[in-house]
Structure 1
Amino acid sequence: MIQNGINKKKAVALRYQPDLDVSPKVIGTGKGMAAEQLIAKAKEHDIPIQEDETLVEMLAQLELNQAIPSELYEVVAEVFAFIYKIDQNT
């Protein structure tokens, strides 16, 4: 889950299943109340949340279930590295 913190919250949920997906996919987006609900659901299920306003803006333009474009691989890899690090510490 990635969120930004400007006036009207936006959030994007990503999924990556190496055995099924070639690259991570956008599985949810929202702004305002929808973003708040995505964030609440992520917290409820102990899904790590990273704030990155620029990345949210870019990913929010993608369609649901659309694989992220190769131009975003590096920055999204950083998000997954962040999640991996959290998982290793729990």
Structure 2
Amino acid sequence: MQEDINKNFIQKAVALKYQMEKDNAPKVTAKGKGVTASNIIKIAKENKIPIQKDEDLIELLSQIDVDKEIPTSMYRAVAEIFSFIYDLSNKAKK
């Protein structure tokens, strides 16, 4: 049964960027599925960019065009991710 689920699984990835002093809201900078998603994740790992897995949020974010800001309805969920990343960065510096 688990094997059947894995066969039907298609990996998806969305990259976000937010610069408080420049951007009004976080933007989608890359997105893709399959090989493209794998490449996005690989590049993130190579650059030590934290990766957060959230299948529900990825479905919503993947509907946003690249270089477009996320809608206000997603602010809270994305803020939680950026907060998680910020905490990780601070812990790594200590």
> Normalising TM by the smaller chain, what interval?
over 0.9
Partner residue, 1:69: 71
Partners of 1:55 and 1:41 lie apart in 2 by 20
What is the percent sequence identity of the aligned residues?
45
Partners of 1:37 and 1:85 lie apart in 2 by 25
4+ runs deviating over 6 angstroms: none
Runs of 5+ consecutive residues of structure 2 not aligned to the other structure: 1-5
Which structure has more RCO (C-alpha within 8 Å, separation ≥ 6)?
A: 1
Partners of 1:72 and 1:35 lie apart in 2 by 21
Q: Which has the higher strand share?
A: 1
Structure 1 residue matching 2:69: 3-state secondary structure: coil
Deviation at 1:19, TM superposition (A): 1.2
Q: 1:55 corresponds to which letter in structure 2?
A: L
Q: Which has the higher helix share?
A: 2
CA RMSD of aligned residues (A): 1.3
Partners of 1:82 and 1:7 lie apart in 2 by 26
Partner residue, 2:56: 54
Partners of 2:49 and 2:9 lie apart in 1 by 23
Runs of 5+ consecutive residues of structure 1 not aligned to the other structure: none
Which structure has the larger Rg over C-alpha atoms? Answer: 2
Deviation at 1:26, TM superposition (A): 0.3
Give the alignment's TM-score, normalised by structure 2. Answer: 0.89
Give the alignment's TM-score, normalised by structure 1. Answer: 0.92
Q: How many residue pairs end up in the alignment?
A: 86
User: Among residues 21, 24, 43, which one is paired with 1:22 in the alignment?
Assistant: 24
